[in-house]
Structure 1
Amino acid sequence: MQATSKRKSEPLVEADWIHAARRILIEEGIKGLSLRRLAAALGVTTGAFYWLFGNFDDLLDKLRQDWEEQNNLHFSLVFESPDLDSRQKYIEYLRILLDKRRYDPEYDGAIRDWAPFSPETAATLQRVDDLRIRQLESMYQGFGNKGLAARVHAELAYFHQIGYYLVGASESLEQRLEKLPFYAQLVCPDIIPLDSTIEDLRALLVRNEDLQT
């Protein structure tokens, strides 16, 4: 990770350190994240850190907050929208999962890998998992599922998606789209027709070319 030309002419701000910490966490794991490593990545001395943070734990707290806010923002915008019905929410949910600019599964994975070593991170992860399942549960309630049925449907949909990323599935966008109607039929029947073509699915779910593949 190299410092940019901006770093030579403008003072670092808190967000610069958090962004660098996020990249190191994703690429190297929590064991690779240290103050010295961060300073080297940003091209500054460790002393510059203390103008912005009280200590290293302060940065770790803000890193957890960054993940909780950034990787949940677009899900919350969809599931909390009063203008979308459950079918529209599911379609928007799929769109977010396919767009790494709005949801970064590698960031999620890095947090999950960190959680066993940090009670604070584990608590943050549990809070986020609970939120995401509740959001899906409300969607299933909109489909007419009641009580425990809505909860189980939500857990099935959520744990399926987590498992997809945890096993490190590597597929092109076309391969994901080809399988998607069959996955959707299992977790949210009758929303994505099984005979949908790749072109149909692109038109429905892919809004630009800058997507995760």
Structure 2
Amino acid sequence: MADRSTIPPEKASGWRGSRALWLEAAKLALIEGGLAAVKIQPLAARLELSRTSFYWFFKDRRALLDALLEDWDAKNTGAFRAACAGYAETIAEAVLNLIVVFHDEALFEPRLDFAVRGWAHQSDAVTARVNAADEARLAAIREMFERFSFAPEDADVRARTVYLVQIGYIAMQVEEDRALRMGRVPAYVRTYCGVDATPGELARFHARLGYVAEEDVA
């Protein structure tokens, strides 16, 4: 439900919400109930707004669904591109930059990715969009490896190894203890790029995620 305590007094009467609010509600509905749950009237009820309020921001349901796809692609694919292009002095540091994306849902939303992939089973157009996003993400990872002088064929296989492992996590909806998953990161780095991350690189990685390893507490 919309939190009316945050609505300015001058908007308390006849408030229509905002485009971002409707889009967020649609995203949550897609994640929780699939495509069939993304309908105008249920969203209006969820937001405690009138159905007509929706049309201030979107022409129709199709326009909302198009915006939802745009938002998913901009955020989730954009996170891969930004991470792979980020500053790194070594390939291990570059790989850690990318692994941050897998652990920070503020950057990349795995449940949204899973929901969009489910949606793709019902739409050829969405399937094409998902395939294009996968190719864009793979290209970003491949270019990251090539930047550190990996041969194109090697870079391609390594990129697929990194990405398909992550998609496997999403597809299987894997839930792991955080300490266990973080403990595997050094081995993942070694597997992905063939070198070990330094203690300093791992410390910066942990700091970015606000994680304190048990050995750092002792």
1:68-119 CA-to-partner distances (Å, cap 9, x unmatched) read 11123333223234x4455232221112221111111111111111111122
Counterpart contact for 1:78–1:84, Cα < 8 Å: no
TM-score (norm 1): 0.85
CA change 1:86–1:158 in 2 (3 A) is farther
* Aligned-partner Cα distance in 2 for 1:31–1:191: 46
1:207 equivalent in structure 2: 208
2:216 equivalent in structure 1: none
1:167-201 CA-to-partner distances (Å, cap 9, x unmatched) read 121112111011222222222221336xx7xx984
1:42-70 CA-to-partner distances (Å, cap 9, x unmatched) read 11121111222111100000000000111
Counterpart contact for 2:84–2:140, Cα < 8 Å: yes
1:97 equivalent in structure 2: 102
Task: Give the AA of the match of 2:33.
Answer: E
Q: Give me the identity figure in percent.
A: 26
Task: Give the AA of the match of 1:28.
Answer: G
Whether 2:158 is the aligned partner of 1:159: answer no
The number of aligned residues is 204
Deviation at residue 202 of structure 1 after TM alignment: 5.4
* Aligned-partner Cα distance in 1 for 2:102–2:114: 14
Counterpart contact for 1:140–1:150, Cα < 8 Å: yes
* Aligned-partner Cα distance in 1 for 2:174–2:210: 21
Where in structure 1 are there 5+ consecutive unaligned residues? none
1:134 equivalent in structure 2: 139
2:3 equivalent in structure 1: 4
Aligned residue runs from structure 1 range 33-182, under 5 A: 33-81=38-86, 83-85=87-89, 87=91, 88-182=93-187
* Aligned-partner Cα distance in 2 for 1:50–1:204: 44
Return 5-14 or 98-107, whichever deviates more. Answer: 5-14
Computed over aligned residues only, the root mean square deviation of the Cα atoms, in angstroms, reads: 2.3
TM-score (norm 2): 0.84
1:188 equivalent in structure 2: 193
Counterpart contact for 2:17–2:49, Cα < 8 Å: no
* Aligned-partner Cα distance in 2 for 1:191–1:136: 18
* Aligned-partner Cα distance in 2 for 1:123–1:85: 36
* Aligned-partner Cα distance in 2 for 1:38–1:131: 32
1:29 equivalent in structure 2: 34
1:15 equivalent in structure 2: 20
Deviation at residue 164 of structure 1 after TM alignment: 1.6
